[in-house]
Structures are given as structure tokens and as C-alpha cells.
């Protein structure tokens, strides 16, 4: 049996922590078409994720979130662009799901959700330790 860790589906996007090769095979078998990796280049994945994803016939895309400064409305907009460009279903992951949830919350705000609803959606997508950063971004507003 494959251990997938924390996996959430929010508004048609599946968010997760770092999948292993077996988990990626499960996603491929389930019909997923794209994997968006939010981890920075220097983070250890334990295997060549790009090669495995491409070998499985999926698109592998990176949008590195390296530090709190990268948790921004601009990065959330970039994620939206990728979600429009690449076919679904889509798996978006980082190390734990925290960065995914942060961007999902900011995306929700951009889509017109009030701050608490956006945070709730972010938590459903894995937001934990970055919640204070997301709250700060929401307070600053999308123009930042």
C-alpha cells in the first residue's frame, strides 16, 4: 500500500506534500496529467522527480517557493497561469502542503473571497505554518 501523506482536493486542484515515486504512479494511474512542484531546486526529493513524472507521461512544472517572500499574490497569479496552461487533473505539491495551501488562499482572495474564507480554503489545502504570512499578505492587499 502506498502512503500518500496529507492529500487534499480543493476546487479541482489536488494539493499534497512531497510524493514518492509510488505515489506519483498512483496519481498517473488515476488520470492526472500535470505535476506542479513548488519546492526549490536545492530541496531533496529523494529521487529524480522530474524524470519519474515525465516517464509516467505527465507534465512536470516547477514554481519554486523559496522562503516567505515568495508567498505572494504575484506567485499566486503565476500558479493560475500554470493551471490554465497545463491540462488537468493537476497535483500541486511542496514538502508538506503548507506552501500549496498558502498559494490557494491567496488565489481565493484574488478570486474575490473574503479573508477568512480564503484562509479556510488555504487550510483545507495544507496551510499551516505560513498562515501568519498569508494573513499579512491579505492585509496588504492584492496590489502588493
Q: Who's near 129: CB < 8 A, 6+ residues apart?
A: 98
- What sections of 7-130 are H helices per DSSP? 21-29, 49-55, 73-85, 98-110, 115-124
Confidence at residue 4, expressed as pLDDT on a 0 to 100 scale? 58
Omega into 40 within 30° of 0, i.e. cis? no
pLDDT tens by residue, 20-45: 999 999 999 999 999 999 999 999 99
**Is residue 40 within 8 Å of 65, Cβ to Cβ?**
yes
pTM of the full structure: 0.92
Provide φ and ψ at 94, rounded to 5°: -135, -150
Ordered by where they begin, the domains of the chain are 8-140 (3.90.190.10)
Predicted local confidence at residue 38, as pLDDT: 98
Q: Residues 6 or more apart from 141 whose CB is under 8 A from it?
A: none
Q: How confident is the model over 55-62, as a mean pLDDT?
A: 98
Amino acid at each position: 500500500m502506498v502512503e500518500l501523506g496529507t492529500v487534499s482536493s480543493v476546487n479541482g486542484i489536488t494539493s499534497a506534500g512531497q510524493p514518492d515515486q509510488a505515489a506519483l504512479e498512483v496519481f498517473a494511474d488515476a488520470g492526472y496529467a500535470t505535476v506542479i512542484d513548488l519546492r526549490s531546486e536545492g530541496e531533496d526529493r529523494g529521487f529524480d522527480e522530474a524524470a519519474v513524472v515525465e516517464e509516467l507521461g505527465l507534465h512536470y512544472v516547477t514554481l519554486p517557493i523559496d522562503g516567505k517572500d515568495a508567498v505572494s499574490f504575484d506567485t499566486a497569479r503565476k500558479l493560475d497561469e500554470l493551471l490554465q496552461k497545463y491540462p488537468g487533473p493537476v497535483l500541486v505539491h511542496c514538502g508538506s502542503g503548507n506552501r500549496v495551501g498558502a498559494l490557494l488562499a491567496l488565489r481565493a482572495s484574488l478570486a474575490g473571497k473574503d479573508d477568512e474564507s480564503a484562509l479556510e480554503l488555504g487550510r483545507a489545502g495544507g496551510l499551516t505554518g505560513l498562515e501568519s504570512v498569508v494573513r499579512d499578505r491579505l492585509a496588504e492587499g492584492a496590489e502588493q
